[in-house]
Amino acid sequence: MLRSTLVGVAAVLMPLLATPARAQPSTNLDDYVLFATTTIKTKGPTISDGDVGVNLFDGRLVAPRFFTAPNSIVAADRVRFDKNPMSTVLQQLFANVVEQFGPPSTPFTTPIVVDVKAACGFPSPFPACATNLDVDVPLGGTVVLPPGAYGRVRVHATMLSAGNLVLTGGAYVFCDVKISGNAQLRVQTASTIDVVGKASFGPSSFFGPDTGSGLVASDIKLYSAGSLVKLTRGSFSEAHICAPDAKMRMSQGGTHVGSYIAGFIRTQEVTLDVGSPSGAFVDP
């Protein structure tokens, strides 16, 4: 194991020349596009903007394939990158142990954030859902939902016909959420969505601002107290998702804008951007 290495100098030299190095990683979760308590395992992400962090001592970032994040500061107690130095592009690396290969690193003190739940706004106590008020959006149907507590949410879809759930805005509590492939969950005004259980977004699904709403990722906050948040292949999301006790999975081909916080994060080849207050990132 190496505490630092010259491998990867070519990959990080230009970003480091363009931006002054930080003394420590940011403690503001809004700066992170990916933030895990213990582990991030990622294969081939493209990160336009936003930092990447693993919070705890002995936390690991494992990126055995291309890691393209020219504007990102990366922080984890232990890191492992592809052995080809040209496969790893980032702005600055904070790490205490570089396993096998990695660009030059700066040691730092863990944890990055002392209380992740408090920092991301996770509700305490977590609100209860209404088990007798399930929401089922049929194929090709649209349901417009006012704020309140509900049961399980199902938005159904096929390749030819997809449901659309529209939230008018405010505070929502759901028992669990399943958005089928090609279906949509759109938000008209700023909303907080508390999910007691799992949250699953199917292939080519959409979760984010309604057309013309002017909302940005930080206006849509989803908190999950469940064990899993799943963003399946080709899905699009634009939100702040905080699930500090859950596993988060991002499948191949997805595009995700905002902050994604979980206990354990696994991604395939996805496109990530922390977003901006200007709302410059436009949904497809």
**Residue where the block lists tokens 């020349």:** 17
This model's pTM is above 0.75:
yes
User: What's the average model confidence in pLDDT over 176-188?
Assistant: 97
pLDDT band at 20 (very low <50, low <70, confident <90, very high): low
Is the pLDDT confidence value at 269 over 70?
Answer: yes
**pLDDT tens column, 46-70:** 999 999 999 999 999 999 989 999 9
pLDDT band at 6 (very low <50, low <70, confident <90, very high): very low
Is the pLDDT confidence value at 279 over 80?
Answer: no
State which amino acid sits at residue 35: F
| Cα 154 from chain centroid (whole Å) | 22
pLDDT band at 86 (very low <50, low <70, confident <90, very high): confident
Is the pLDDT confidence value at 173 over 80?
Answer: yes
pLDDT of residue 58: 97
Is the pLDDT confidence value at 179 over 70?
Answer: yes
User: What's the average model confidence in pLDDT over 190-198?
Assistant: 98
Is the pLDDT confidence value at 284 over 60?
Answer: no
pLDDT band at 186 (very low <50, low <70, confident <90, very high): very high
pLDDT of residue 103: 85
- Domain segments of the chain as ranges: 9-114, 123-258
Secondary structure (DSSP) of the chain: -BS--STTHHHHHHHHHHSPPPSS----GGGEEEEEEEEEEESS-EEEE-EEEE-STT-EEEE-S-EEEEEEEEEEEEEEE-SSGGGEEEEEEEEEEE-S--S--B--PSPSSS-HHHHHT--SSPPPP-TT--EEEPTT-EEEE-SEE-SEEEE-B-SS-B-EEEE-SEEEEESEEEE-TT-EEEESS-EEEEESS-EEE-TT-EEEEPTT----GGGEEEEE-SSEEEE-TT-EEEEEEEEEEEEEEE-TT-EEEEEEEEEEEEE-S-EEE---TT--SPP-
Is the pLDDT confidence value at 196 over 80?
Answer: yes
| Cα 135 from chain centroid (whole Å) | 25
